[in-house]
Structure 1
Amino acid sequence: MNLIPLLNPALLVFLPVAAIPVLLHLLTRHRVKTVDLATYRFLFDTYVQQRRRMRFLEALIALLRTLFLALLVLVLARPALRHWDRLLGAGGNREVLLLVDTSESMNTTTAGRSALDRARGVAQAIADRLGPEDRLTLFRLGARPEEVFSRFAGDTQAIRNSIDNLKAGSSRANLLAAFSQIFGPQAPSREQPLVYLLTDGQASGWTELQQQGAANLLPPEAKLQVILCGSATPLSNRALVGDTPRQSRSIVGLPIKLVPRVTNHSATEAVEVQISIQVNGKEIARPVVPLKPGETAHRELVYLPTEPGVFEGRFHLERSEGGLPDGFPADDDYLFTLEVTEPLQVLLVNGAPHSDPLESETLFLKTALTAPDEREPAAVAPGQPTPPGPLTTPDARSLAVQEIGEGLLNEEILKGAQVVILANCGQLNGNQYTFLRNFVTRGGGLLVFPGDKVNPEQYRQQFFTNPQVPDRRFIPLDLQAAQGDLNDANAALRLSAESLDFAHPILSVFDTPQSRYLTGARFYRRYPLLPPGQRPDSLPGNPAATGSPPPTSDKNYWTLASFSDGSPALIETWPGEGKLLLAAFPASGKWSNLPLKPEFVPLLLRMVQHVAHRPGLEFPSVVSPGTPAEIRVAKNWEPITGQVTDPSGGKSTLEFRPTGSRSVAAVEQTGLKGFYAAEVRGGNGDETRQGTARFAVNLAPEESDFTRIDEQAVRDLFPGTPVEFVDATAEAQQQYGAVGGDSREIWRPLILLMLGVMGLEFWLATLGGGREDATQTTLRDRLEGLNPARWVGAMTGSQLPPDPQTQ
């Protein structure tokens, strides 16, 4: 390998021409005959000194002429420098591992070329330098590492095609997962591996390695080269990161809270951005968000769907006027889907009917479920979101309510219901309890509001426990004897603000601390909800408490709210496929004033929406990149087939496998940002079923942070492994040329050197000679008598006859 390669090496055959001045110098040397004259012996010493000086100048001029001709031949041969030779190296019989970061940040463009393009170029250059006996393995790094190929380097075309086909995904690179798969216990043995990591140096990819350590991850004989292919210039970026809607399924007319969040990753510049909130391509709001350097802010919007379907939602970050441009537009969108269903079929079972509607047990329930919103919608100024809050009154079209008495409850009427509400039902028989248990077990939703007609013992023995399977409880809690005095307002309990679980979809919309929703209601009488065998006086809020509730890890229910004495006020449990909400109070105004509070309507509607009968086809709203998306289908759809289409238009077949009470298919390839659509079909003969599942994949939020890993931090991670950093960034390749590309020619500095040599030789040949005798003219006279012909003669070693005028 040439240290300085030549583009025209054949022209080096003319290099001997450079010896011509030396030959002329030797052939034209003056041979002076020595004559001893006594009268000149005093001048001999001066003459010797002048003669030595002239010989030195003649030799130096000959050397400069030789150098000039040599440089001329070298310029014509076109020498070039290869800055990247130490990176590419050479050798044979090596185990070479190429790890290419394919996270979305690698698509960042600098100087017209993305970091991934530069990484592909480096990978190609490394592969081209390998010997045929070297073994090359290429890994694509994302959330999960993917081995692209492992073959000997002699298969150059296949290697080149595989490298060219590398594409970036939406997930970030997980280097711990990559090194664990490559060098872990299940990995093949690798002898003296040479590892090339091609990355933009984003610190987020090293997070897991820094947290868990990597001291013994690489074998002792391994060598690691980290090749930085990104940009050394700091990037100004504004990233839009949304919160996934708390409920992916909604009902026509039921409000949904949408929360876009935006981060300013600039360390110095404050900006003001606009967020376009869109549903199915239609903009519904455009809030303005000011951001300080490094700040994250969010806005909330309550959206009211008006028609059923699966809708595609988008938060879009509009370009801000002025300021630095957004260097990474890939994170300017956050995508999600909303499944809006037809109005729910709600069966309201009245346990205490009355001829006077005002005395009926279901007065407040039916009013809340059916009363339309007759107010005109508030006008929203352009660019401003709808004011968030839980008190947005839903549309009456969200529910289809049917009210019946206890005696009419049967198996047939339950077939058409999605949600059943038991309002103070104390006269149900064993068969009706069985119908209700089967309804919930098969996926139905049940709300239980016990009142003064309810017999707690009957509920415990016939409803909450299955008589056929006594040791298997239908509900893990029991109703204890009612407590409280309706005539003593001072003894009323309130809901504990600390106990309200705003993480639950039912209560999430009430998460506004300044309003303290739900805590103003007063409960004069209630049923303690306790695990079997626990006494009411053992509650932690009771002054006479002697024990504590069972630990959370042992519960198979979720306490959504508790009273100030510590007893549960509202719990959720999951018998079989369905959901059941059990309250400790009735939904009438006899035992509490909650139905008179403005929170009651949205609370009840969200409870109904949450426990609604599970749909035959279930799918997520948003999936993290690289994470499998599970599509669940009811077993009555079998046999089930499906096909999923990714954002690029690629199609793949879904394979459903029985899992519990559902058949599940996983969409494994979720590396592309965008919307995915899965067409699912099932059933036989006349009972065919079909549906469309849509979900969105967004950019990993860590990809928006372009903080680079420190070189010393990487070396500290691998203390026993030689780690070398190579700067192949956009700026370095602009200076030294592309890795593996054309060499950088150096003819310009060589020409400048030639001009310098020629100028020095000219000065020495014309002005630097010694005087011929003591009477030689002055420098001014010599300059006036200069003749171009004499210059040429002096430079070539021949002399013209003396000028007659000077004799």
Structure 2
Amino acid sequence: MSPAAHRLCPNVYGRAVSAPDGPVFVRTLAPMRFLEPNMLWALLGMLVPVLIHLFNRARHQVVPFGGMMFVESSLRLRARSLRLHALLLLLVRMAIVALLALAAARPVSRSGGQLGPRPVSWVLVLDTSFSMLQENASGTTPFSQAQAAALIMIAQMASADDMSIVLAGTTPRVLFDEPTYDREALRRALKAAKPSYDSGELPAAISQAYLVLQASKHSRRRVVILTDQQAVNWPQDDARWQQLRRQRATLPVQPAHYILFSKALSAAPNLYVHSLQRRGPISHPALPERFEAIVTNPSSSVVRGTATFSVTGQPAELQNLEFWPGDNTLSFPVTFAAPGPKVCSVKIEGDRFTADNTAHLALKVEETVPVVVVNRNRNLPEAAFVHEALRAADDDERIFTISNIDFAEFEQNLTTILQHAHVLVFTDVPSLRQYTVFALEQFVQQGNGLLVACGPESSPAGLARLYKGGEGLIAIHPTEEYTIPQQATPALVESPIWRRAQMPPEALRTVEVRRCRGGEEAETSQRLAEIADRPLISYQRYGHGSTVTILTPLSAEWSNLPLTAAFVPLLHTLILDLGSSEQPPLNVDQGRSFTYLAQLQTAPKSASVRVQTPDTHYDTKLVQDVDGWHLTHRDTTDPGAYWVRPTDPSLPERAFAARLATGESDFTVLPSKRWGHVSSQLDAAVMAAPQALRDAVAEEEEVQDWWQLFLICALLLLCTELILGERHSS
């Protein structure tokens, strides 16, 4: 059967019929319909032979001559035959144009099943997102319904039919690269399929189904999509549908599309943990920590439940709560007893669907934050101010390990210092070599921090290399000096840095700046403080790390900043934020890989590690390269905690966490208007019961297309036209 028999367009399908579970969009076919009705305008081409005929008659002129009376009687008899030939030739030419126009319009009609079934290539697109696990009132899940319907389809396949299966998850998975005739293999694959914590990317899965159909040898093809009524799985982005239509147009045979959805999703509210994060920049046993979880209640009613906060499997706090419609923010205070890797989690109870009721957050409780202060001379006041400020901020808590070195020592031991430091503080900027700038860029990109203060002796060449035309480590090119005796004012007071600060941003107004630097500002610059509408403190992300630029020296020469009460908490806040980056990341989105990395001076005795996943574990070995000893784990389909535990004590233990994609937790049902939109985009029949699908397929079996017959008739008439035209001209 040609594509015409399978293709549906708005004037062919679009009839809503009653069904036990709501409206269903199916096709209706009259005794003869045209799938491309716009091509019927080509029938106007029948006028072209008529116009040519009339034009040729108008060109002929009668020229009398003397002997005409002797042949006039013979011509009169001959003219009747010529007119008959001309009229017949005109009708044949008009019929050729009409038949070609009708063939292009793709006429179809019911065949009454007289031609018998022909082989079909099936592709089942099975939604495996975790919303398919939701139980309805009868205790069954949408996935079990879809699985049962698919098994029935396999059982009712004709002997010459073949089939493939595509699982629609975050990344679509094709179970058979080419459609197979093996019914038993199809059944085994279908029974082995299980819903996961994936989101249902149906457009991507349909695209994979088209790729499978390219290998089909049958002239009839079907795509059956088995899913629930969840709105999030059917994006409104028309660009994705247009892309699918373009891909489908490249297929040699257009497939028929059917969407079989399960019964309506339960009206019971579904609570889910949207996110879990810590408020502080770093975790340390001496720092009280606070974690915030956002629990979403998408329903319109209040739901009573509980929330349990745990640290590495040990419950720390239980709260009885009322979850109001929308987002609910929960706060959990924690003080860690010891440094090391931790996994914090929050679990809620209050609804039947529990797959999205837990969130995890991996972190490392730091023993100390190594800070290296680099100055032209370690005895200059800038270095002393920074050192004393960090010691005062520590308050005997030993958060920071502070090293004071001069620039010559820094360049001499550059590699060793960058391997052990987490935050660098430049109290002045000397003339930097290109290699040093490159090493600093790598240092920050890998997740470390850099604070640069522009003192009076800062080198213009060094500042230019750090700015690098707006793409470097600092976000401002301080080429000018300003004498502006004014007070500093805070900026971006809603930024995370100010929210975590141990001082109110308004405390900066006690800082009086007499002189400061300024110049070109990069687009990546975020101002934390200003003076006379010019930047005073600038922050920017750089790779996985961050940098802070202070445009006045950290001494009392140009301002009273080091002498104010704001200096200690300000410097403490900036250093903590610069030291807060985790690289490689400990928390990844579900389905993304994570990397364990350990940098050691000497090789470990054993590179063996055990990787603990949420439901199993396996043993493997670390791989060594220029960055250190590392391992990449790629399968994070299941959200939760992952641990990498080396057998050698010289290698650190690490905890990782995969975050659940909570988009699937919104069980909003796709409205009827959107079903019509989906149906029109895919040219698909949408139904709610397996019997309706079987009826639609049976109706499709009875459809016969006629464009080939019209084309053959047009070719026969063309041959006739050539014969008549030859005789007429002779």
Question: TM above 0.5, one fold?
Answer: yes
Partner residue, 2:683: 721
Distance 1:253 1:186 in 2: 62
Partner residue, 1:522: 511
CA deviation string 1:502-546 (max 9, x = no partner): 26xx4452599xx65565453413432423xxxxxxxxxxxxxxx
Bigger strand share: 2
CA deviation string 1:575-602 (max 9, x = no partner): 8997543211234466556556776545
Distance 2:676 2:405 in 1: 73
Distance 1:575 1:270 in 2: 43
Identical pairs, percent: 20
Displacement of 1:337: 0.5
Partner residue, 1:271: 303
Distance 1:627 1:422 in 2: 34
Query: Are residues 150 and 567 of structure 1, via their aligned partners in 2, closer, same or farther at CA, if it must alter by over 3 Å?
Result: same
2:519 is matched by which residue type in structure 1?
Answer: L
Distance 1:149 1:507 in 2: 54
1:172 to 174, 199, 209: 199
Query: Are residues 314 and 430 of structure 1, via their aligned partners in 2, closer, same or farther at CA, if it must alter by over 3 Å?
Result: closer
Distance 2:162 2:533 in 1: 67
Distance 2:286 2:569 in 1: 11
Q: What is the TM-score of this pair, normalised by structure 2? A: 0.65
Matched, 1:673 2:656: no
| Matching of residues 199-598 of structure 1 within 5 Å | 199-207=227-235, 212-214=240-242, 216=245, 218=248, 221-245=254-278, 250-254=283-287, 257-267=290-300, 269-286=301-318, 289-292=321-324, 294-301=325-332, 303-319=334-350, 326-349=351-374, 360-362=381-383, 365-371=386-392, 396-404=397-405, 411-412=412-413, 415-416=416-417, 417-419=420-422, 422=425, 424-425=427-428, 438=439, 441-442=442-443, 445-451=449-455, 454-456=456-458, 459-462=459-462, 464-465=464-465, 477-484=476-483, 488=485, 491-497=486-492, 502=495, 506-507=497-498, 509-510=500-501, 516=505, 520-531=509-520, 552=523, 558-572=525-539, 580-588=547-555, 591-592=558-559
2:361 is matched by which residue type in structure 1?
Answer: F
Partner SS for 1:396: coil
Query: Are residues 129 and 179 of structure 1, via their aligned partners in 2, closer, same or farther at CA, if it must alter by over 3 Å?
Result: same
Partner SS for 2:176: strand
Q: 1:561–1:570: 8 Å Cα contact kept in structure 2? A: yes
Distance 1:96 1:434 in 2: 61
Q: Which moved more, 1:592-601 or 1:690-699?
A: 592-601
Distance 2:617 2:602 in 1: 26
Q: 1:510–1:517: 8 Å Cα contact kept in structure 2? A: no
Q: 1:641–1:680: 8 Å Cα contact kept in structure 2? A: yes
Extract unaligned runs of 5+ from structure 2.
Answer: 1-115, 693-730
Matched, 1:706 2:654: no
Partner residue, 1:195: 223
Query: Are residues 722 and 256 of structure 1, via their aligned partners in 2, closer, same or farther at CA, if it must alter by over 3 Å?
Result: same
Displacement of 1:213: 3.4
Partner residue, 1:162: 189
2:687 is matched by which residue type in structure 1?
Answer: F
Q: 1:521–1:592: 8 Å Cα contact kept in structure 2? A: no
1:131 to 125, 133, 158: 158
Provide the alpha-carbon RMSD of the alignment: 4.6
Displacement of 1:92: 5.3
Partner residue, 2:655: 694
Partner SS for 1:369: helix
1:723 is matched by which residue type in structure 2?
Answer: A
Partner residue, 2:33: none
Query: Are residues 266 and 474 of structure 1, via their aligned partners in 2, closer, same or farther at CA, if it must alter by over 3 Å?
Result: closer
Distance 2:180 2:425 in 1: 73
Structure number with greater Rg is: 1
Displacement of 1:728: 6.4
Q: Which moved more, 1:182-191 or 1:196-205?
A: 182-191
2:269 is matched by which residue type in structure 1?
Answer: S
Q: 1:251–1:308: 8 Å Cα contact kept in structure 2? A: yes
Query: Are residues 131 and 124 of structure 1, via their aligned partners in 2, closer, same or farther at CA, if it must alter by over 3 Å?
Result: same
Displacement of 1:121: 1.8
Displacement of 1:481: 4.4
Partner residue, 1:799: none
Displacement of 1:689: 6.7
Q: 2:369–2:579: 8 Å Cα contact kept in structure 1? A: yes
Partner SS for 1:702: helix
CA deviation string 1:210-247 (max 9, x = no partner): 67435726568433322223555412222221144478
1:465 is matched by which residue type in structure 2?
Answer: R
CA deviation string 1:171-226 (max 9, x = no partner): 21011212233336996568532222111211111125567435726568433322
Q: 1:199–1:230: 8 Å Cα contact kept in structure 2? A: no
Distance 1:613 1:334 in 2: 21
Displacement of 1:570: 2.8
Extract unaligned runs of 5+ from structure 1.
Answer: 1-89, 320-325, 375-394, 532-548, 683-687, 733-807
2:134 to 97, 105, 108: 108
Query: Are residues 576 and 237 of structure 1, via their aligned partners in 2, closer, same or farther at CA, if it must alter by over 3 Å?
Result: closer
| Matching of residues 618-767 of structure 1 within 5 Å | 618-629=583-594, 644-649=611-616, 651=618, 667-678=633-644, 690-719=651-680, 721-727=683-689
Q: What is the TM-score of this pair, normalised by structure 1? A: 0.59
Q: 2:449–2:578: 8 Å Cα contact kept in structure 1? A: yes
Distance 2:472 2:349 in 1: 55
Distance 1:155 1:132 in 2: 10
Displacement of 1:712: 4.1
1:455 is matched by which residue type in structure 2?
Answer: E
1:276 is matched by which residue type in structure 2?
Answer: T
Query: Are residues 285 and 353 of structure 1, via their aligned partners in 2, closer, same or farther at CA, if it must alter by over 3 Å?
Result: same
Query: Are residues 236 and 437 of structure 1, via their aligned partners in 2, closer, same or farther at CA, if it must alter by over 3 Å?
Result: closer
Q: 2:281–2:576: 8 Å Cα contact kept in structure 1? A: no
CA deviation string 1:94-113 (max 9, x = no partner): 11111111111111223333
Partner SS for 2:272: strand
Q: 1:619–1:695: 8 Å Cα contact kept in structure 2? A: no
Partner residue, 1:382: none
Query: Are residues 405 and 98 of structure 1, via their aligned partners in 2, closer, same or farther at CA, if it must alter by over 3 Å?
Result: closer
Distance 1:573 1:520 in 2: 23
CA deviation string 1:324-381 (max 9, x = no partner): xx13121211111012233122233466878xxxx9545653344223777xxxxxxx
1:705 is matched by which residue type in structure 2?
Answer: D
Q: 1:681–1:691: 8 Å Cα contact kept in structure 2? A: no
Distance 1:421 1:285 in 2: 38
CA deviation string 1:239-292 (max 9, x = no partner): 22114447896455456552200111222x223444322222334444565443
Matched, 1:608 2:575: yes
Query: Are residues 181 and 643 of structure 1, via their aligned partners in 2, closer, same or farther at CA, if it must alter by over 3 Å?
Result: farther
